Amino acid sequence: MPKLIFTRHGESVGNVAGFYQGRMDTPLSRRGILQAERLSLRLRAWPIEAIYSSPLRRALETVRPLAAERGMEIRVREELVEIDHGEWTGLTVNEVGERFGELLRLWRTSPEKVKMPGGETLEEVRERGERALREILELHARSDGFVLICSHDAVLRTMIGAALGLDLSRIWSFRLDNASLTIFDFRGGKPRLLLLNDTCHLQDLLSDADLQAL
């Protein structure tokens, strides 16, 4: 079995603006582009045999430098797309609070109970994420290298949480930064956490606001 590298996409323009992106196909910010380059440098010497990504632009742009340097294809999996935020899509946190205040409070305290209006539940997200994970592990069952999966906050939280044996109610119990690395060893049939939310390759990067001022 391979070791799996989970990485959240780099900082996007939606992250900077502070709105719920969901399925919106937003690009990386200037800082996000630098994060993608740093990620590629960090993993330069790692024996990565496959790169999987969400179909959304911000995820594809995150792994494109790594794939280009190695001459590898990016294998797109639709199951890795971000949670459908439904009517929250494109709204800031304050706007969601004004229109869906009680539901937003529930999302922060008991996220497993929330179905966003016109969107998805975390259970639906976890089901498709775990389906993709099972198939990826089966495809690389004889590998002893690394397989990289680039996806989004909600999707990765459900996948990582499941590997850690956490209930969906606890998806906020760990941090997951843009372009971070979380690694599991799946050898032996049971996932073993090797690294969680590592961002040492990003520590000296300027904020997007600082970069725009240059």
> From the candidates 9, 85, 140, 201, which is the catalytic residue?
9
- CA distance linking residue 166 with residue 201, whole number of Å: 28
pLDDT at 206: 57
H-assigned helices in the chain = 13-17, 30-42, 57-70, 93-99, 101-109, 122-139, 153-163, 208-213
pLDDT tens figures, 30-66? 999 999 999 999 999 999 999 999 999 999 999 999 9
Quick count: other Cβ atoms within 10 Å of Cβ 106?
14
* Total domains, the chain: 1
pLDDT at 152: 98
171 Rama class: left (phi>0) / alpha (psi -120 to 50) / beta: alpha
**CATH (domain of 118):** 3.40.50.1240
Q: Is 9 a catalytic residue?
A: yes
Q: Token digits for 25?
A: 């196909």
Give the residue from 128, 120, 56 showing the smallest Cα distance to 88.
120
Cα-trace Rg, the chain: 17
- CA distance linking residue 158 with residue 94, whole number of Å: 25
pLDDT at 205: 79
Q: Is 152 a catalytic residue?
A: yes
- CA distance linking residue 88 with residue 96, whole number of Å: 6
- CA distance linking residue 131 with residue 17, whole number of Å: 32
pLDDT at 203: 84
Q: What are the residue ranges in the chain where pLDDT is below 70?
A: 206-214
- CA distance linking residue 162 with residue 132, whole number of Å: 13
Q: Which domain does 116 fall in, by range?
A: 3-213
> From the candidates 85, 140, 152, 201, which is the catalytic residue?
152
pLDDT tens figures, 199-214? 999 988 755 555 455 4
pLDDT at 211: 47
